[in-house]
């Protein structure tokens, strides 16, 4: 499920789905990513971005140590079958 939270609430391991502001204000080249490094968190805090949208489903997977090597079942991967 997607949740909009303040950047100050971010924690390592959260999956960022989107950020507020324009694409040009985004300090990262990707719009969606797993927040893995303290430097990424510091960059977001320093960027002036106020809100981000996180995906808590991927956060839950991360908490169980699965997000780093997340494997999608072949039945889901085969969308054109």
**Beta bridge partners of residue 15, listed in sequence order:** 34
What integer pLDDT is reported at residue 27 of this predicted model? 85
Its pTM stands at: 0.68
List, as one string, the DSSP characters of 19-30.
Answer: ESS-GGG-SSS-
Kindly give the pairing relationship between strand 15-19 and strand 2-6.
unpaired
> Over the stretch 41-72, which tens digit does the pLDDT of each residue have?
999 999 889 999 998 876 666 655 555 555 54
CA–CA separation, 81 vs 78, rounded Å?
A: 5
């Amino acid at each position: 499920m997607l949740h909009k939270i303040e950047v100050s609430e971010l924690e390592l391991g959260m999956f960022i789905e989107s950020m507020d502001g324009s694409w040009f204000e985004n300090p990262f080249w990707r719009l969606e990513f797993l927040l893995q490094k303290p430097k990424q968190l510091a960059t977001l805090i320093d960027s002036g971005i106020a809100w981000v949208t996180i995906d808590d489903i991927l956060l839950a997977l991360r908490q169980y140590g699965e997000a780093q090597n997340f494997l999608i079942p072949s039945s889901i991967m085969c969308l054109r079958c």
